[in-house]
Amino acid sequence: MQIAMMIHGVATIVMMAMFLGHMYIGTIGMKGALDGMRTGYVDEGWAKEHHELWYDDIRAGKIPAQRSTPAGGVAAPQI
């Protein structure tokens, strides 16, 4: 039982560290990610760098853009 509790404690610490790291990278750790989550829009450079296949599909017209952005960004599909 003591070994199981120790494994549980270590697993909890590892999972919390991964959770906090994921939150950091998804918000302030990656420029443009927080704005993309808040507004639903990302600029073309961000889309091409992080999701190139999605970006290529939108540019080719395979995925219809829901809305266009004035600055030429790419709109995330609305679900």
Model-level pTM? Answer: 0.57
Q: What is the pLDDT of residues 46-68, one digit of tens each?
A: 888 888 998 898 888 888 766 55
Q: Place 5 in a pLDDT band, splitting at 50, 70 and 90.
A: very high
Is the pLDDT reported for residue 69 higher than 60? no
Confirm if 39 and 73 have CB atoms less than 8 A apart.
no
Closest CA to 73 of 38, 50, 40, 51: 40
Q: What is the pLDDT of residues 15-49, one digit of tens each?
A: 999 999 999 998 888 888 888 888 888 888 888 88
* Predicted local confidence at residue 37, as pLDDT: 87
Give the residues across from 74 on adjacent strands. 42
Give CA–CA dist 33/41, Å, rounded. Answer: 10
